[in-house]
Structure 1
Amino acid sequence: MALKKILNIEKSESDNLDKFSNIEAELALIGCLLWDNRNYEKIADFLNSEHFIDSNNQLIFRTIKDLLDKNILVSPITLKNYLSDYDKNIDQIKYLNQIKDSAPSTHNAYQYAKIIYDLHIKRSLIGIAQNIVQETTENNKDLDGEDLIENAENDLYLLSQTGNTERKYSHFGEALKNAVDVIDEAYKRDGKIAGLPTGLKDLDSKLGGLHNSDLIIIAGRPSMGKTALGTNIAFNAAAKFKEEEDEFGNKKILDGGKVGFFSLEMSAQQLATRVLAEQTKISGDKMRKAELTKDDIKKIVKVSSDLEKLNLIIDDNPILTIPSLRARARRLKRIYNINLLIIDYLQLMSGSTTSRNDGRVQEISEITRGLKGIAKELNIPIIALSQLSRQVEQREDKRPLLADLRESGTIEQDSDVVMFIFRESYYLERMEPIKKPEENEEKYLERHQRWRELCEKSYNTAEIIIAKQRHGPIGTIKAHFEPNFTRFSNLSVKDYDNIME
């Protein structure tokens, strides 16, 4: 039925253009602006010249907008000098005065603008609908159904970003009430954290959990454990998920949350194997090579049955742009009501098709701004894993710095939290002393013993360096890391030594 309606639109396109246009509203708005330039403040947020259907009105409004943006007074007399492309056969001052005098009421400027914007949206929706029909029936690019849906969602999202007539201002009292509610919930909750728990006690203590609308970057060199920490946080949050429903059907989260995981590097099956290895404490390598005992199989079967209903949704599509991520994230929010989004990893994403010629730095800038925008729109925390540049390897102290973030300083700028993973044991294991030709056996053994002591001291220990936190302190915490199972956990009290406050 819906398809027939859309096809009928194409047959009577001229009738629909009349139905979805209002030249009188366009003239009335221009008249309001000529009467009182202050009316522009009411509509500047959402209305553009492209929203007008009449080409002459488009030109007049575009000129008015350009002049008022430069704080130049606009009247029929001043406007005449800037309308160089307008019809020369018309007395411009007389025509503009007629528009000005015909304005019904200058108090209705916002309403006229809202009508123009609304009609533009409806015309654009008709165009998108016709594109969907055309792309589906012709399908020159041989796209499957999912790709066609994604293209349609991207078009609809881009249309929604052309403006918005509803102002989203918040009175301070309302914002204050929301802030107090979050503090109150954190006080009542076990662990006394306001955000989503990561499952690492010291990290939660430092961050207060993962907070809604925050963009959190977890960065590190290869083999440091970025994906491991991402999957650990995803599992811990999803496993702890608890919610209650009141008598009116309103749901309230008590702990944890539902997690969406976008894995550009690994398949869903590989990611599931990692989580299984973490929880069974059987290495993923043994699973892949099938070097398993009967006890291992029993443990895998038991843990698998426990994990079946885990609130973790995986998307392993290897090609991801910001518009497609936004469309998929909104779908996950609508269908599963996710509370956390994790992306592995940032440098494998690409920007929108329109900005691919601007260079990789600009592309990463677009991606980080887009991720922050999605976090705010969906009101959930987003964790993005990120690579670090090779300059870390050139330094004696391999601990990462903010300057090491790869390809763009806007990663640091747009994020609310930046964390680095550093495992000293990774570098020490590759620095085993070699006996020098002139060195005697005793000195060599002494050096080798010192190296072994350093390796033992740093074994199974990872540092999580909080290099930036917009709303709290920076510092470093230590965590227990088991490389065989790619598992991060809390250090025991006797092992823990806080190295920076």
Structure 2
Amino acid sequence: MARELPNSQNLEQSLLGSLMVYPSIMQSCMDQGLDYEEFYLPIHQKIYAVIQELQGTGKPIDLNNVIARLQDKNELEQAGGSDYIIQLMDSAISPVNTNSYIESIKNKAQMRQLILAADTIAENTYDSSEDIDTLLDDAERSIMDVTRHRRGAEFESSAEIIDRVMEELNRLKNMEGITGIKTGYSDLDRYTNGFQRGDLIILAARPAMGKSALALNFASEVAKHNKEEAVAIFSLEMPTDSLMKRLLSAESNVESNKLRNGSLNAQDWNKLNEGSSRLGERKIFIDDTSSIKVSQIFSKCRKLKSEYGALSLVVIDYLQLITGTRADSRQQEVSDISRNLKILAKELDCPVIALSQLSREVEKRTDHRPQLADLRESGSIEQDADIVMFLYREKYYEKDEEEQSDTELVDLTLAKHRNGGLGDIKLVFKKSISKFSAWEQSREDDVYAN
């Protein structure tokens, strides 16, 4: 025998009766976002919909107006008739209990939505025509749609907000150093106060500029300074072993080509053993799924957070390789992806760094320095991001590549910073070990002389 869906028929009757006796409680219904579709019985849905209409037109909410409005719509009999509506008034409750009744009705409605979503998932799963990734993606989206319908935050008074802000300012005053998550680069930390939790950070550059290497350097440094929190890296282009070799090369200062061909001497092995020991102590987790979807990134990050308590950084290399939803255009697809990555940062309460390609327009200009307009495929990337950083290597465009030094000075440009200043940050890039270091002004002349 089929089980009855969760419902609160008695509570619905009491609330509807109370609305006609104490019309002022309609404000509580509006404050909590109660909608007619959240009532279980269709007759109750029709009655509450009419009450909403009366409220919207400014007419008094009372028995006569409710019945008259239902008659005008030829829905009186479908709503149980006049006698039933009169009986509802006998179920009226004290206004004091209104909020708990509204909450119960909304909770039961969400339980029904969850059951219906689960039924849909089960039905779709029995249909073997869809591949498993599509089924999982649709299932997670269905559950997320249910959770999004939960009531959002209410208004807060200025007094409540200012108390919290002043408490936070007092906490920051007593802190030593930066207030966010250390990046490992002092000049960048001075601009940003560290990567802030909940921020979406776009690191963009043309190919071969070193953006993947810099992102790995960020991940390693953040993991070093936040030993109890996890760092997640999603590498959609490079396999896990190759990525770890880059991390190991930068950490141990052993040239990456030696790790590729195995020509390692005793000193190299000592450096590698020390570097691997340090890296092994850091909670860095790598996923190299090449066609990953945003929903899968959400799922894996949630699992990582539940296991380790918190995430200090998520790195995605790179944004344009994420498999999007079935949108009307690639531009819309990328827009949806960037918006969801911002949601990911807020939900996980950690910074998310997403690498991004730049359009070829950069190569057509005399000045090859990137601009915000060069962000590839969607202007919404700029809109969703809290920080947009461009990596630029001037020497990359010099013709005599063979004469170029292994070490060069590069620019990391803060082109957008929602909560801070803009500017250029100098970094030192040692190409043979894929390592970026903070620039020391005192060494400029003897290291970077042309």
Q: TM-score, normalised by structure 2?
A: 0.83
Deviation at 1:92, TM superposition (A): 6.5
Deviation at 1:309, TM superposition (A): 2.2
Partner of 2:417: 469
Matches within 5 A, 1:47-66: 47-62=34-49, 65=52
CA distance in 2 between partners of 1:319 and 1:129 (Å): 26
CA distance in 2 between partners of 1:280 and 1:226 (Å): 20
Partner of 1:158: 145
SS at match of 2:289: coil
More deviation in 388-397 or 120-129? 120-129
Counterpart contact for 1:341–1:382, Cα < 8 Å: yes
Partner of 1:345: 318
**Structure 1 residues 160 and 66, CA, compared in 2 at 3 Å: closer, same or farther?**
farther
CA RMSD in angstroms, aligned pairs only: 3.6
Partner AA of 2:439 in structure 1: L
Partner AA of 2:337 in structure 1: I
Partner of 2:128: 140
- Residue 490 of structure 1 pairs with residue 446 of structure 2: no
Partner AA of 1:57 in structure 2: H
**Structure 1 residues 13 and 89, CA, compared in 2 at 3 Å: closer, same or farther?**
closer
Counterpart contact for 1:479–1:490, Cα < 8 Å: yes
Counterpart contact for 1:464–1:477, Cα < 8 Å: yes
SS at match of 2:353: strand
Partner of 1:28: 14
**Structure 1 residues 381 and 45, CA, compared in 2 at 3 Å: closer, same or farther?**
farther
Partner of 2:396: 426
How many residues of Structure 1 are paired with residues of Structure 2 in the alignment? 437
CA distance in 1 between partners of 2:356 and 2:239 (Å): 18
Partner of 2:172: 182
Partner of 2:331: 361
CA distance in 1 between partners of 2:252 and 2:60 (Å): 73
Partner AA of 2:415 in structure 1: A
Counterpart contact for 2:15–2:93, Cα < 8 Å: no
Deviation at 1:209, TM superposition (A): 0.8
Partner of 2:256: 284
Partner of 1:478: 426
Partner AA of 1:481 in structure 2: F
SS at match of 1:484: helix
Partner AA of 1:260 in structure 2: A
CA distance in 2 between partners of 1:375 and 1:383 (Å): 9
CA distance in 2 between partners of 1:130 and 1:142 (Å): 17
Deviation at 1:233, TM superposition (A): 0.5
- Residue 193 of structure 1 pairs with residue 178 of structure 2: yes
Counterpart contact for 2:43–2:80, Cα < 8 Å: no
CA distance in 2 between partners of 1:307 and 1:462 (Å): 26
Deviation at 1:398, TM superposition (A): 1.1
Partner AA of 2:44 in structure 1: N
Deviation at 1:205, TM superposition (A): 1.6
**Structure 1 residues 290 and 58, CA, compared in 2 at 3 Å: closer, same or farther?**
farther
CA distance in 1 between partners of 2:233 and 2:46 (Å): 47
Partner AA of 2:11 in structure 1: A
**Structure 1 residues 150 and 64, CA, compared in 2 at 3 Å: closer, same or farther?**
same
SS at match of 1:86: coil
Deviation at 1:489, TM superposition (A): 0.6
More deviation in 332-341 or 293-302? 293-302
Counterpart contact for 1:260–1:313, Cα < 8 Å: yes
Partner AA of 1:461 in structure 2: L
Counterpart contact for 1:214–1:380, Cα < 8 Å: yes
Partner AA of 2:306 in structure 1: R
Deviation at 1:115, TM superposition (A): 0.9
**Structure 1 residues 318 and 279, CA, compared in 2 at 3 Å: closer, same or farther?**
same
Percent identity over the alignment?
34
Partner AA of 1:485 in structure 2: I
Counterpart contact for 1:47–1:163, Cα < 8 Å: no
Partner AA of 1:176 in structure 2: M
Which residue, 314, 317, 320 being the options, matches 2:292?
A: 320
Deviation at 1:196, TM superposition (A): 0.8
Matches within 5 A, 1:383-402: 383-402=353-372
- Residue 270 of structure 1 pairs with residue 242 of structure 2: yes
CA distance in 2 between partners of 1:130 and 1:98 (Å): 36
Partner of 2:448: none
Q: Residues 385-434 of structure 1, C-alpha deviation per residue, up to 9 Å, x if partnerless?
A: 112222222211111112222222222222221111111111123799xx
CA distance in 2 between partners of 1:122 and 1:207 (Å): 43
Counterpart contact for 1:43–1:113, Cα < 8 Å: no
Partner of 1:438: none
SS at match of 2:441: coil
Partner of 2:200: 215
CA distance in 2 between partners of 1:428 and 1:260 (Å): 35
Counterpart contact for 1:36–1:106, Cα < 8 Å: no
More deviation in 356-365 or 469-478? 356-365
CA distance in 1 between partners of 2:252 and 2:115 (Å): 54
More deviation in 271-280 or 159-168? 159-168
Partner AA of 1:216 in structure 2: I
CA distance in 2 between partners of 1:386 and 1:275 (Å): 20
**Structure 1 residues 71 and 87, CA, compared in 2 at 3 Å: closer, same or farther?**
closer
Counterpart contact for 1:478–1:491, Cα < 8 Å: yes
Deviation at 1:28, TM superposition (A): 3.3
Deviation at 1:485, TM superposition (A): 1.9
Q: Which runs of no fewer than 5 residues in structure 2 stay unpaired? A: 446-450
More deviation in 112-121 or 165-174? 165-174
SS at match of 1:317: coil
Partner AA of 1:488 in structure 2: F
Deviation at 1:166, TM superposition (A): 7.3
**Structure 1 residues 357 and 416, CA, compared in 2 at 3 Å: closer, same or farther?**
closer
Partner of 2:305: 333
SS at match of 2:150: coil
Counterpart contact for 2:227–2:282, Cα < 8 Å: no
**Structure 1 residues 199 and 165, CA, compared in 2 at 3 Å: closer, same or farther?**
closer
Deviation at 1:65, TM superposition (A): 4.8
Partner AA of 1:29 in structure 2: L
Partner of 1:417: 387
CA distance in 2 between partners of 1:71 and 1:269 (Å): 66
More deviation in 88-97 or 23-32? 88-97
- Residue 113 of structure 1 pairs with residue 113 of structure 2: no
Partner AA of 2:284 in structure 1: L
